[in-house]
Structure 1
């Protein structure tokens, strides 16, 4: 048994990619995408027919140039998602434009549009998760969408305050970014010598996992953004882990025993869930973590840049 197979004994494995062929080889349950992955996919020769179909769709929808570009971009993300769903049994996560991260109502509108585009192609909303950045506005948008039966994947989780607010909002799934937390500390030379057991990204997921299980929140925890295979293995037992094709390949080629590291609480005593954070409490608690503030802002900017670069490609072809 290789380590990928070993990991699957304890954790649902999700592929973090927009490349359909690479996904197919690793038989993941679900797949996550984001603007960066869609941008990479759009540049692959195998996607050019799909791209042409998207341009035809955008022209038929009409509107001004900006509207056509937005429609083409949304349709491309959905069409790639539809193709991926032909290869996996579970769900696809498709991301809301990061530039809407501070606008609750626009996040909701974009999410509903994405779901409707999937439904037009016969994909039920139960197979789709909407990815939204974990700002206060994004979390509140997800809270509303969940009430409508639209499941959300709250991404760019760096602080405990974000994770707590998501659980309190009844969000379906969160994605704590292990690798980007690691990056922040590594760049400041705060991880020498390195030990995975002292990795702040690993500790962040462990703390969230223990808190959720202790208070019996139903929100799924999906560790994301890994830099080392040992980070993945240190979270064996987490609800889900979303892993890049390169690291899936690495796990396939390793045959050491995989040991479960995270275990749900077995306490049977009465439990309580704390009163939900207010907006001011959330903002203050999140603000206390300099890494989280930096990385959330940087992650939103990066996804926004990749979205803009994707739109430039579409604009040239339109």
Structure 2
């Protein structure tokens, strides 16, 4: 049994891609997308006709509406391949606007429903800013389930749990990137690998806290740089993995051991914490890594959203 099959016995495997033509070979349950992945996909000749067809069908509509139709069209194609859910992201440029995020999320879900897809198969991806978390709180009350992304800190995770968010995507690789860059020549790759990886440690702490306190929010590790990070989180609720790393797991026959255990977490001595808006903002501010990576992530997604806008306008 290869490592991908072993991992699926412990964890729900999600494909992190907008390339739905690649999905079938890995048989993931769910799939996630983001503006960068969609932009990468539509630049491929395989997807150019789909983009052009979707844009032409919406000719004359406001640009934001056309973009949402493109995102949902990709989501619909993905849902033909995966049996579970697809995550579709709200424009990162709305990350600090609760009302606009809610409105955009409702429109995305309405487009899916108009195409015959129930909202139980859709997760709306929102950046885990305070405003994004409060938008998700409102959406969840209406049965629109959310995936809070760009999550780098414990306070973001706890606030999402308190808001009743369906799923969070703590970013392993980007946390690793920050600590490696910060350490410079002092970085010891071997000593900070596996369970000692700072990104792995962040997700592990969140997972343990959620299970200890019965928080129903699903924990989905994301943004991996190597399969060692994935192996060190075997047992997590879900892991969203790029096609390249899925292929590496599929190519290995080495034994894979469970690392995260919900029953063990329930016995841990982890006192409950809570975050008001002021406490959340201060805790995030005190975490230089999370502050920098959240801001950077929003900027990068916003840039790619702008590039997608330009591509659509050129058609």
TM-score strictly above 0.5: yes
Structure 1 match to 2:49 = 49
Q: After superposition, where does 1:20-35 map in structure 2 within 5 Å?
A: 20-35=20-35
**CA–CA separation in structure 2 for the residues paired with 1:241 and 1:267:** 18
Matched, 1:181 2:208: no
Deviations 1:162-220 (A, max 9, x none): 00000000000000000000000111225314332221100000100110010010000
Moved more, 48-57 or 240-249: 48-57
| Structure 2 Cα separation of the partners of residues 310 and 287 of structure 1 | 31
Map 1:277-316 onto structure 2 (within 5 A): 277-316=275-314
CA contact (8 A) 2:209 2:270 kept: no
Question: Does the 8 Å contact 2:223/2:240 carry over to 1?
Answer: yes
1: distance between equivalents of 2:312 and 2:297?
A: 23
1:125 is matched with which residue: 90, 98, 119?
Answer: 119
Alignment of 1:74-223 (within 5 A): 74-188=68-182, 189=184, 191-194=187-190, 195-223=193-221
User: Any residues of structure 2 matched to 1:242-281 within 5 Å, and which?
Assistant: 242-266=240-264, 274=272, 276-281=274-279
Query: Which runs of at least 4 in structure 1 moved beyond 6 Å after TM superposition?
Result: none
> Which secondary structure state, in structure 1, belongs to the residue aligned with residue 263 of structure 2?
coil
TM-score by length of 2: 0.95
Q: Deviations over 1:267-315 (max 9, x none)?
A: 778x998464110000011111100000000000000000001111111
SS of the residue 2:143 aligns to: coil
Contact 2:194–2:231, Cα closer than 8 Å, also in 1? no
Give structure 1 stretches of 5+ with no counterpart: none
Structure 2 distance, partners of 1:216, 1:259, is: 24
- TM-score, structure 1 normalization: 0.94
Kindly state the Cα deviation for residue 52 of structure 1 after the two structures are TM-superposed: 2.1
- Structure 2 equivalent of residue 39 of structure 1: 39
Secondary structure of 1:265's aligned partner: helix
What CA deviation, in whole Å up to 9, does each residue of 1:54-109 have, x standing for no partner?
222321xx35xxx2x22221111100000010001000000000000000000000
2:189 and 2:266 map into 1 onto residues whose CA distance is 39
2:211–2:265 contact (8 Å) kept in structure 1: no
The 5 A counterparts of 1:222-241 are 222-241=220-239
Relative to structure 1, the CA distance from residue 254 to residue 268 in structure 2 (aligned partners, 3 Å threshold; closer, same or farther) is closer
The aligned length equals 310
How many Å separate the matches in 2 of 1:268 and 1:307? 41
Distance, in Å, in 2 between the alignment partners of 1:79 and 1:268 is 41
Instruction: Report if aligned partners of 2:213, 2:266 keep a CA contact under 8 Å in 1.
Output: no
